[in-house]
Amino acid sequence: MRVWSVFAPRPAKCHCACAVRFFLLLKRLLLTTRSNRMSDESLNRNFAPYAADDGEDYMNEAQLAHFRSILEAARKTMMEDIDRTVHAMQDEATVFADPNDRASQESDIALELRNRDRERRLIKKVDEALTRIHEGEYGYCDNCGVEIGLRRLEARPTATLCIDCKTLDEIRERQMGK
């Protein structure tokens, strides 16, 4: 076994393998940071906050239309990402001879699938929110029936609990150790 020093020239195949590993690592890093941001930011991206008028009824048609458009746009974006991932995985079905490259590719695929699973769960929540809009229940807390609030819904359009109930729920989770 030959050990290469930092200053000694390496064979050409080693440079190619290192370059492939480097780009796969860079791709994984970019996908991880992008998909971590995607979860909640994609729900209200490119939408101006709703400006409520004084005396305006809570969850009137204009507000419902605003949140419906946010949720539908987020759903469409996530579905396009899922389709793009499926096509990319089919196109990148390369079999590497080097075990390290294969392991890196499998790690990338596992990470991408985990992110898509997270988005799939978020799509389910978006669909539930759209159903609540259709049924006229959107914007009201599931536990106590109080208005959730426009600013909270702007931050998290899939919210089903008011801030007080959510805080109590989080305290209970911490105490139970879930």
The annotated binding site is made up of 141, 144, 162, 165
Do residues 24 and 101 touch, judged by C-beta distance below 8 A?
A: yes
Residue 88 to residues 54, 84, 109, 112, 135, Cα–Cα distance (Å): 49, 6, 10, 11, 38
Helices (H), 42-145: 61-91, 99-135
What one-letter code names the amino acid at 132? R
Name the binding residues for Zn(2+).
141, 144, 162, 165
